[in-house]
Amino acid sequence: MAEVGLHAVLLLGAWVFVCGVACLALKRNALGVLMGVELVLNAANINLIAVAHYNPAFRLEGQIFALLVIVLAAAEAAVALAIILHYYNINATVDVDAAQQLRN
Amino acid sequence: MIPGWETTPGRLYIVATLVPLAVVFLLAVAGMLRAWIRPLRKPGSWTETAFWMLGGDVPLRAGAYLSVAGMAVTAFLSLVGLAQFLTTSDPVEAVRWAEQWDWVRIGPVSDNPVGITASSQPAFPALALQVGYRIDALTAVLFAMVAVVALGIFIFALGYMAEETQEVVEDHEAQHQYHRDQSVRRRGRYGRFYLFLSLFCFAMLHLVIADNLFQIFVSWELVGVCSFWLIGFYQERPSASYAANKAFIMNRVGDAGFLVGIAIAWTQLGTLNLEEIFQRLRGVSASGGEVRYARIVTPADGKSSLPMLTGQEPETATYQVTAIREEATHVLVHPLVAVRSEDIPARLQISTQRNLQDYAVLPYWVWVVMGVGILLGCIGKSAQWPLHTWLPDAMEGPTPVSALIHAATMVAAGVYLVGRCYPLFAPEVLLITAYLGAVTAFLAASIALVQTDIKRVLAYSTCSQLGLMFLALGLGGWVAGLLHLLTHAFFKALLFLGAGSVIHACHHVQEMGRMGGLRRKMPITAYTMLVGVLAITGVPLLSGWYSKERILTQALGWGLYHPQHVLLWLLPWVTTVLTAYYMFRLWLLTFAGPPRDPEVYEQAQESPAVMTGPLIGLALLSVGGAWGWPIWEVEASGLAHVLEQAQPAMVREYATVTESGHHYHLLVTGLALLCTLAGAGLAYWWFGRFEVTGEQLQVRSRVGQVLRNKWYFDEIYDAAVLRPAVEIAQVVARTDKRPTEGEPSEPSGSGVPAEELLADEPPPRRYDWGTLDGWLNAVGDLAASGGEVLRRWQSGRLRWYVGTLALTAMLLLGMLTVWNR
């Protein structure tokens, strides 16, 4: 197996980030939007780990930072799910297009 | 009792002036309280009692009695003050009768500028607006006259305005606004009448005691406003409110000139105090205060006009002082110093940064303009030609108003001011005064010849006599003009009150064509009016004779020196003839001969004592007001001697004229008597010998028509001034008028009718490009429509927001990477 370069992994991270933003912008289901958020956070993690691995100046910081990000992602997912629950209580749907109160 | 009584006895006059103001305040507060309580009253509560105490629905007489009492106090104090002034006055004491207080002062305090010797000069000359009074002989006498005559008129009005004490007054000459066939029924306005009268008296008295042009101007305007209110007293009559507007607006035209004069005095002479102005123009030398002129030798560079602000050196110009008027371009302005240690130098360096303590120069034409400005104010106030048309229309007001304001006091304010400001007039200005006076005297007398309304005749008579006063003042007869002012006040007020008594008895009939033979029914009125008529025509030994003789003497003397001004020495004689004619015509038509209207004659009866009392008092004053000892000597008049004490020193320039007039005084007396007899005889010939019907009083000749229509001055002014002003106003108003809804002035936007619009679509905008409103609205509308376009960004859709966010972030990142390369 050939050694992949840093830029390839960064490219992977970027691709995952774009997929996550596309999910955020294009999904109508609120849970889908949440999945997009998770993808974005994971892309950030990929970048962190990649730089931590390929740059000898950083020893463990990247990986520990990635662990923190995972924790924060979990907490933020809990909060987001609570919001979606309240949203469903009010609107009887998880369709984000139903939130029109700020229109005009 | 009054603080400072010993050192400043003039404060008595301040108290006397403020009493009517206090009455005004009380009446106004009571009226406002009553109006406030009226809708709040509930039966049986304290509000009902309070309302009743303040007069209830019936106009309370207490307000009138309070006004009369206040005026009596003022009159008493004025006589006390006059007596005290006459017994204790001498030139040294004059300073005790004047005081000044600073109201607004800008700049460093330099104390009384008169007390400074010319040593220190502050960087900024201090400007101060002062408030003060000054009593001299003219003021004391005039104050007493105004107060006493006003008291008589106040008492008269108690009886004359009695119909205003009813709860409901029916006004037959006004038309109801909505029901055209009914006459107007309104509440009685007794208290309001006395409110305005008292306010007027305060303003007039304040005008007389004021010592600077600022206070005089304030009083000037205030008497104008009170005149407006009082002329328009019967406010439901359109003729009355039109007349009130006319009076006020014409006065304003004169006041514009007055303001120009005040502005010149303030900027060029640095002060508005009359004494200081005279001192600056004529100096404090005892030789009579001649005006000194200056001729420019080396002019200034003319670069900087405000050296104080730009910090440059002030520029100087050199002037040659000369006493010859013909070669002068400027007038020398003296410094305001008390002690003059040296004579006026022959050459002066005058800097552009002037101080009140420095010499200065005033361009000659500016001096003339200042005089003309102040004269314009007097012309407007005293109804001289060309601003004379408001006075006859002012007869729409109640007769006591006509007597007080338009005979004795307000119109006299113009003459008083000319007399007061005498030293600041240039010789050209005095000549203009004389001409205007002569023209007015003749013009008004000629119009009075054919008038049939008793009040109109008296109004034109007032106008004419004021013209005689202006003529006298313009020719150097200072004492003559002001003496005539005083005596005229007495007999003109008498005549107007007599006319009021007649009108009251005839139930508001004012046409002489319906009167006649009233002396049998109203003897007191008839014979007191006869005294007034004799006084105004100058019958010997009555008060009018003394003043008229002096005026005619002055005119004759002046005519000997300046025969080229024919009108000035001819017109007073013509006016004498005309005056005698129309005054006797008035008396004969009203009181002699058979009655022309039997109904009017049946109802007439003598007026009650409250109205005939003042008539008798004024008749006594008209007879003996100007007496001196010996009675048959015109020069011995007591009033004239009092006035001579207040004569400004510059009148000595006209001494030769007066002397030569005195040389011929017997000729003057004889000629005047001849003129009077001619006029009276003519009147008796036509009106006294046989019956004159109302039909015969109408004029048919061409000349008569011109006179009847007041020389068409009203029509001329209407065409020359009013019409263009109204046209211009209408053109300007068109920029503000909006077309009615639904019809845009210019079709713009989409012309979609309202029914075809969809529910959520706003109607298309219309922009009214034809009016100013439309332009301003269009700006606002465009901003609003722009905002509505931008509003669509707020779609409320979450995914749109997220997408926009992501796109923006990428754009920013891209910009940052590209630019940092």
Put simply, the answer to whether B806 touches A103 (Cβ < 8 Å) is no
Tokens of A91: 């609107």
Give DSSP secondary structure letters for chain A: -PPPPHHHHHHHHHHHHHHHHHHHHH--BHHHHHHHHHHHHHHHHHHHHHHHHH-TT-SSHHHHHHHHHHHHHHHHHHHHHHHHHHHHHHHSS-BGGG--TT--
**Closest approach of chain A CAs to the CA of B748, in angstroms?**
28
- For residues B788 and B632, what is the distance between their CA atoms, to the nearest angstrom? 95
3-state DSSP call for residue B515? coil
**Closest approach of chain B CAs to the CA of A60, in angstroms?**
28
The 10 Å Cβ neighbour count of residue B67 is 25
Place of tokens 């109802």: B603
Q: Which residues of B touch A99 (CB under 8 A)?
A: 796-798
**Closest approach of chain A CAs to the CA of B762, in angstroms?**
15
Among candidates B211, B247, B565, which has minimal Cα distance to B394?
B247
B131 DSSP assignment: E
Best mutation target, B795, B798, B805, B817, to test chain A (most A CBs within 10 A): B798
Put simply, the answer to whether B798 touches A104 (Cβ < 8 Å) is no
- For residues B397 and B243, what is the distance between their CA atoms, to the nearest angstrom? 9
- For residues B28 and B18, what is the distance between their CA atoms, to the nearest angstrom? 15
Residue of A24, A26, A103 with shortest CB distance to B795? A103
- For residues B711 and B15, what is the distance between their CA atoms, to the nearest angstrom? 46
- Tens of pLDDT, residues B342-385: 566 677 766 665 666 677 778 888 999 999 999 999 999 999 98
3-state DSSP call for residue B170? strand
Tokens of A50: 């990649």
**To which H or E segment does residue B443 belong?**
helix B427-448
- Tens of pLDDT, residues B687-698: 877 777 767 777
**To which H or E segment does residue B142 belong?**
helix B137-160
3-state DSSP call for residue B171? strand
* A36: closest chain B residue by CA: B802
Q: Which residues of B touch A33 (CB under 8 A)?
A: 798, 802
3-state DSSP call for residue B749? coil
* A18: closest chain B residue by CA: B806
3-state DSSP call for residue B429? helix
Backbone φ, ψ for residue B577 (5° rounding):
-60, -50
Put simply, the answer to whether B802 touches A104 (Cβ < 8 Å) is no
**Closest approach of chain B CAs to the CA of A26, in angstroms?**
6
Put simply, the answer to whether B799 touches A21 (Cβ < 8 Å) is no
- For residues B26 and A64, what is the distance between their CA atoms, to the nearest angstrom? 91
Q: Which residues are CB-contacts of B466 (< 8 A; sequence separation ≥ 6)? A: B382, B383, B384, B411, B412, B414, B415, B437, B440, B488
* B804: closest chain A residue by CA: A25
**Closest approach of chain A CAs to the CA of B816, in angstroms?**
18
Residue B383, CB-side half-sphere exposure with 13 Å CA sphere: 29
Residue B140 CB burial class (10 angstroms; 0-12, 13-18, ≥19): buried
Give DSSP secondary structure letters for B618-670: HHHHHHHTT-BSSTT-GGGBHHHHHHHHT--GGGGGGHHHHHHHHHTHHHHHH
Q: What is the mean pLDDT of chain A?
A: 91
B722 DSSP assignment: I
- Tens of pLDDT, residues A37-47: 999 999 999 99
Put simply, the answer to whether A102 touches B794 (Cβ < 8 Å) is yes
The predicted pLDDT at position B172 comes to: 72
Q: Which residues of B touch A91 (CB under 8 A)?
A: none
Strand partners, B106: B127
Put simply, the answer to whether A102 touches B791 (Cβ < 8 Å) is no
Q: Which residues of A touch B803 (CB under 8 A)?
A: 25
The predicted pLDDT at position B765 comes to: 59
* A103: closest chain B residue by CA: B796
- For residues B156 and B398, what is the distance between their CA atoms, to the nearest angstrom? 12
Tokens of A43: 């892309």
**Closest approach of chain B CAs to the CA of A57, in angstroms?**
25
The predicted pLDDT at position B52 comes to: 67
* A98: closest chain B residue by CA: B797
Selected residues 16-35 of chain A with any CB under 8 Å from a CB in chain B: 21, 24-28, 33
Place of tokens 């328009």: B232
Among candidates B205, B235, B246, which has minimal Cα distance to B223?
B205
Cβ pair A56, A21 in contact under 8 A: no
Specify the pTM: 0.79
B382 vs A3 pLDDT, higher one: B382
- For residues B193 and B161, what is the distance between their CA atoms, to the nearest angstrom? 9
- For residues B141 and B598, what is the distance between their CA atoms, to the nearest angstrom? 45
The predicted pLDDT at position B340 comes to: 55
Residue type, B598: P
Place of tokens 């490009």: B769
Among candidates B214, B191, B210, B192, which has minimal Cα distance to B202?
B210
Sign of CA dihedral B285, B288, B291, B293: negative
Among candidates B413, B404, B22, B20, which has minimal Cα distance to B219?
B413
Among candidates B769, B768, B763, which has minimal Cα distance to B785?
B763
**Closest approach of chain A CAs to the CA of B787, in angstroms?**
11
Put simply, the answer to whether A25 touches B791 (Cβ < 8 Å) is no
Place of tokens 């009675």: B631
- For residues B279 and B267, what is the distance between their CA atoms, to the nearest angstrom? 16
- For residues B430 and B367, what is the distance between their CA atoms, to the nearest angstrom? 12
Residue B574 CB burial class (10 angstroms; 0-12, 13-18, ≥19): middle
Give the ranges where B449-522 is alpha helix by DSSP (H).
454-474, 478-505
**Closest approach of chain B CAs to the CA of A99, in angstroms?**
7
The 10 Å Cβ neighbour count of residue B405 is 26
Put simply, the answer to whether B799 touches A96 (Cβ < 8 Å) is yes
List Cα–Cα distances, B359 to B281, B408, B694, in angstroms: 10, 41, 67
Mean pLDDT across A10-36: 94
Question: How far apart, in Å, do the first and last CA atoms of chain A sit?
Answer: 57
- For residues B272 and B276, what is the distance between their CA atoms, to the nearest angstrom? 8
Tokens of B498: 């007599």
**Closest approach of chain B CAs to the CA of A88, in angstroms?**
16
- For residues B681 and B151, what is the distance between their CA atoms, to the nearest angstrom? 36
Strand partners, B349: B318
The predicted pLDDT at position B307 comes to: 43
- For residues B20 and B333, what is the distance between their CA atoms, to the nearest angstrom? 40
Full strand arrangement of the beta sheet holding B316-322: B347-351, B316-322, B293-298, B330-333, B360-363
Q: Which residues of A touch B792 (CB under 8 A)?
A: 104
* Residues of chain B scoring pLDDT < 50: 110-124, 286-287, 304-311, 742-751
- For residues B358 and B350, what is the distance between their CA atoms, to the nearest angstrom? 8
The predicted pLDDT at position B22 comes to: 93
* Residue A94 at interface with chain B, using a CB cutoff of 8 Å: no
Cβ pair B389, B721 in contact under 8 A: no
Put simply, the answer to whether B806 touches A24 (Cβ < 8 Å) is yes
Please state at what angle helix B566-591 crosses helix B427-448, rounded to 10 degrees: 30
ipTM comes to: 0.84
Cβ pair B158, B413 in contact under 8 A: no
Residue of A21, A96, A104 with shortest CB distance to B798? A96
Selected residues 780-819 of chain B with any CB under 8 Å from a CB in chain A: 791-792, 794-799, 802-803, 806
Where b means 16+ CB within 10 Å and e means fewer, B210-242 reads bbbbbbbbebbbbbbbbbbbbbbbbbbbeebbe
